[in-house]
Amino acid sequence: MNEKQLIARAKAGDFEAFTQLVEKHQRRVFNLARRMTGNEHDAEDILQDTMLKAIDKLDQFRGDSSFGTWLYSIALNQGRAFLRNEQRADLQPLEDFMPSANPGSPTNLHEWRNPHTEMEEAQVREVLEKAIDELRAEYSIPFILRYIEEMSVKEVAKVMQLSEAATKSRILRARLFLREKLEPVLSVEGNDE
């Protein structure tokens, strides 16, 4: 069954169809919530609230966007509400979702990584993480959705309920801010070589 058929069946009360729809997006919704809250327990609460809200509002889904984008919008709104209630905006450490965060222990010399390089990468990750934490949510969330979640600008715009131009502007502002914060660290590393 395609997405439109599943949506029609879910709207008619077929819980199995609804389950099939959300299972494809559940992990991404959880990851967004975890990044917004900084912990898995709160992320699970947001995920659950998102699914309940999606069930309640399914009849309002018009199909202007994909089901995943619509679900992601609900998750973002639930996350924002949670952060407002908790009055905190800590994001999950950037190193948790960097590909080189857990390279594993080397088992032979070919897998050995230069400790100096690892230290530099950790330093850059730390500066980047702190810089993202300094960004206001209106800039950090679009940046995370675009570059960490790898959503298109169009999808980010729908999730954020902004025009594509406004979305691009916020992503650009985040990039410029992050470049400014990273430039001193990267230029020092470049001078050492």
Q: Which pLDDT tens digit goes with each residue over 7-18?
A: 889 888 888 988
- Rounded CA gap, 136 and 115, in Å? 34
Domain boundaries for CATH 1.10.10.10 within the chain? 94-98+112-192
The answer to whether 177 and 167 have CB atoms below 8 angstroms apart is no
Q: Distance between CA 125 and CA 123 in Å, rounded? A: 5
**Is pLDDT at 108 greater than 70 in this prediction?**
no
pLDDT at 166: 93
Contact 6, 54 (CB under 8 A): no
Better-scored residue on pLDDT, 91 or 117: 117
Given a cut of 50, is residue 101 above it in pLDDT?
Answer: no
Structure tokens at 172: 């650009």
pTM greater than 0.85: no
Give the residue-averaged pLDDT of 58-66.
Answer: 86
Alpha-carbon span 164 to 97, nearest angstrom: 26
* CATH 1.10.1740.10 domain residues, the chain: 3-86
Whole-number pLDDT of residue 131: 83
Instruction: Provide CB contacts within 8 A for 115, sequence distance 6+.
Output: none
The answer as to CATH 2.120.10.30 being correct for domain 94-98+112-192 is no
* CATH classification for the domain delimited by 3-86, as one of 1.20.58.1610, 1.10.1740.10, 3.40.50.300, 2.170.260.10: 1.10.1740.10
